[in-house]
Amino acid sequence: MLLSTLMPNVFVKALRKLPDLHDEQYALQTCMSYYDSTSGPQENTLVLPLCKKIKKRIVYTVLEYSPLLDSCNMATDDWARIGKDIEKHYEKYDGFVILHGTDTMAYTASALSFMCEHLGKPVILTGSQVPIYEMGNDGRDNLLGALLIAGQFVIPEVCLYFHHKLYRGNRVTKVDSGSFNAFNSPNLAPLTNADVDIKNNWDTEWRANTTSRFRVSTQMNRNVGLLKLFPGITAVTVKFFLQAPMEGIVLETYGSGNAPDNRADLLEEFRNATERGVIMVNCTQCLRGTVTTSYATGKALSDAGLVAGCDMTSEAALCKLSYVLARTDLSIEAKRMMLSQNLRGEMIADLQGAKLTLSDSDDLDEVTKSLSISCKEQEAVRDGLTPTLACAASKIGDLEALDAVKELVRNSYINTSSHPCINRFDRVFIDVYQISNINSAKKINVLFSGPSSSMDSPMLGGRTGVSSHCMVMLHLSMTYMSITLCSLA
């Protein structure tokens, strides 16, 4: 474990005096001071007391920076220095803990999450509201909790640990300057809760779908900024803010991403900036929620060229913008596209208005083959995804996707053209198309099942039979139809 700190050089000596953060007797008995050393004792290597629940010890080495910085003085060069130190020692340690001031910790956590590419180990930032040397401090608990989590679990993310909770680093913001519970993750539940027991929310954990070698990208574009809308803001203010050398801004808007749609002067400045190549990301001023285009005032900004920031925090959006704009190998349009993608779990993409398409593949073989699993497992994945695809297609009224799902069913589940179920599948999907055009129907459920069974349904226009291998449930509401296909044992 490597602990990177912005504390004074007396920090290690202070830690040695704290029995909950260092077992001096064990270190002397086992010569732990020689850990990872070929030249002599390493006084900055410490060891935690034995944790009875995990029955192992966590050894950590402290790397202290000089000169020391108040977190308010942090800049992109300091982010790069931390990132490079992680990269330098990446193969030697199982995890990394960074002690950092709380004022800009959310920015550093967000920046490192984008700079650390193909991360496979935990990187945890933590700090304290009260210095660790003072009575009644929260620093000891925060440091100990971060060390225990980084030493026990493989959570391949840049995280922030504070007040018994581990958050995704690019999801947090500081919400309280006078409380131990200083940070919050408004739009994502904590990854870990460390109370009496450490409980991980593995479903929330972000894992990169790559085996590429870890690297740190230190190039960050500094010509970015934050602009907060307020009632009465002038077009002159916006114009001067968007002038060169500004290359990108995060625009903090009202509610779900709204701005005045009766201010032609403001919208004109945004359009002009877009035409000059300035990339603008629309983020909400609200603590929770996401940016949408449901209202005309939100659509006006989208039409002016702003990229929807969805549910990103302003800190994450700014750091992501700085990271993406530094990519000299990408065009403006490619950068805009990259900003709208979920790179490190920093956002949930806005799927409103998205169209389901299976045109790139006749079936799900491309998906299942990419998982490098057996044929039977591929069939299980295909069986599991087919109902979801059918439901999504019917919900948004995408008949082309329904056709593709029908072909998937025909080709995947029925390998012979003489199978008696083929015509029945055709009939079911045709009837689904007919039902989707009925707007006045009340909610009903129709179930087909059983060997060679059939049912009369006036909604389906007659008798329809389905083989014992399949069950088709049609759910009709005022607005959409959802379909579930599942294989029966």
CATH of the domain at 95: 3.40.50.1170
Q: Are residues 61 and 179 in the same domain?
A: yes
Q: Are residues 187 and 54 in the same domain?
A: yes
Q: Are residues 237 and 123 in the same domain?
A: no
Given a cut of 90, whether residue 157 has pLDDT beyond it is yes
Please say whether the beta carbons of 180 and 138 come within 8 A: yes
Domain count, the chain: 3
Q: Are residues 151 and 13 in the same domain?
A: yes
- Residues 105-139 have pLDDT tens digits of 999 999 999 999 999 999 999 999 998 888 889 99
Q: Annotated catalytic sites, by residue? A: 102
- Residues 189-225 have pLDDT tens digits of 999 999 888 999 998 888 777 778 999 999 999 999 9
- Residues 230-259 have pLDDT tens digits of 999 999 999 999 999 999 999 999 999 999
Q: Are residues 250 and 211 in the same domain?
A: no
Instruction: Give the mean pLDDT of 51-80.
Output: 88
Q: Is residue 286 part of a domain?
A: yes
- Which token pair is 487? 């294989």
Instruction: Give the mean pLDDT of 427-455.
Output: 39
If one compares 373 and 476, the residue with the highest pLDDT of the two is: 373
Q: Are residues 163 and 264 in the same domain?
A: no
Q: What stretches of 276-329 show up as alpha helix (H) in DSSP? A: 296-303, 314-325
Q: Is residue 175 part of a domain?
A: yes
- Structure confidence at residue 288 (pLDDT): 95
- Residues 1-17 have pLDDT tens digits of 666 655 445 788 888 88
Q: Is residue 83 part of a domain?
A: yes
Give percent above pLDDT 70 in the chain.
71
Q: Are residues 105 and 238 in the same domain?
A: no
Q: Name the residue type at position 30.
A: T
Q: Name the residue type at position 286.
A: C
Please say whether the beta carbons of 158 and 119 come within 8 A: yes
Q: Are residues 194 and 271 in the same domain?
A: no
- Structure confidence at residue 452 (pLDDT): 34
pLDDT bucket at 353, cuts 50 / 70 / 90: very low
Please tell me the distance from the alpha carbon of residue 321 to that of residue 314, in angstroms, as a whole number. Answer: 10
Q: Are residues 61 and 173 in the same domain?
A: yes
Q: Is residue 360 part of a domain?
A: no
Range of the domain at 277: 224-339
Q: Are residues 317 and 300 in the same domain?
A: yes
pTM over 0.85: no
Q: Are residues 189 and 332 in the same domain?
A: no
Given a cut of 70, whether residue 330 has pLDDT beyond it is yes
Strand stretches in 201-243, DSSP E: 215-216, 224-228
- Residues 444-473 have pLDDT tens digits of 333 333 333 333 333 333 333 333 333 333
Given a cut of 60, whether residue 95 has pLDDT beyond it is yes
Q: Is residue 347 part of a domain?
A: no
Q: Name the residue type at position 87.
A: E
Q: Are residues 329 and 394 in the same domain?
A: no
Q: Is residue 352 part of a domain?
A: no
